[in-house]
Each structure stands twice: as C-alpha cells, then as structure tokens.
Amino acid sequence: MSRNVIQAAYGIPGILSYFLVFYAMYGVRRILNRNFVVIYSIMSISNMITWLNTWLFLKLRDESFFSFYFEWLSDTYWLVNVHSFLVPHMYYVQNIDFLLLTFDRFAVILSMNSNLEV
C-alpha cells in the first residue's frame, strides 16, 4: 500500500503538471516551433498513458481496494490483452518520441548555424 501511495504522490502531480505545461505552451504557441509543440504534445500524452496503464495494470494488482477492477478484467479478456500490449509497447513509443524531439532540436540548431529555415 505504501508503495502505491508514494507512486500516486509523484504520479498524479506529474500528470497534472502536464496540463499546466499544455496551457503554457498554448499561450506561447506563436513563439514556439510548430513541430516542437506537436512532438512534445504527443510525447506528453504517451507519457500520461504509460503511467496510467502501468499503474493500473501492474502496480494496483495487489491492492485489495482495487480488486473489483481485476475481477472485472477476468471477464473481459480483450482489455487484459490491451493492457498487456501497452505495457512494453509504450516504452518504444516513448523512445521514438524522444528520438523525434532530439532530431527536431538538432534540425533547429543546424538551421541556426547554417542560416536555413526549418
């Protein structure tokens, strides 16, 4: 129980802070590169989905207060397959998001050094 409380104590504020960042990015969207905003938004959403899916499916499995969900999951096998599919594959999605963000920032730095427009 204490492990899940600690994970919720940093996870829920982390998820809420993404919404604050979305609001801030919306306010300065004309200043920021459009590609950066799109890639960062996709990255943020995939991080939120990853945390929520992992926390629900893996971390709350041993909690008695959440046993109703796993009893319901035993009747809906397709949702178990979705959870099981998302756990490892969201890791790859996060890595691809980070790679795209890195390439985007590299392209901006390269364009600033060579006076090209990206």
For 37-86, how does the pLDDT look when each residue is reduced to its tens digit (9 = 90+)?
Answer: 999 999 999 999 998 888 888 777 777 777 787 778 778 888 888 888 99
The closest alpha carbon to 83, from 117, 74, 63, 33, belongs to 74
With residue 77 as reference, give the H or E element that holds it. Answer: helix 77-114
Tell me the average pLDDT across 8-31.
90
Q: What is the pTM of this model?
A: 0.76
Question: CB under 8 Å, gap of 24 or more: what pairs does 106-112 form?
Answer: 108/33, 108/36
Residue 78's pLDDT is what?
87
Question: Where does residue 115 fall: left (phi above 0), alpha (psi -120 to 50 degrees), or beta otherwise?
Answer: left
Mean pLDDT of the chain: 85
Tokens of 7: 């994970």
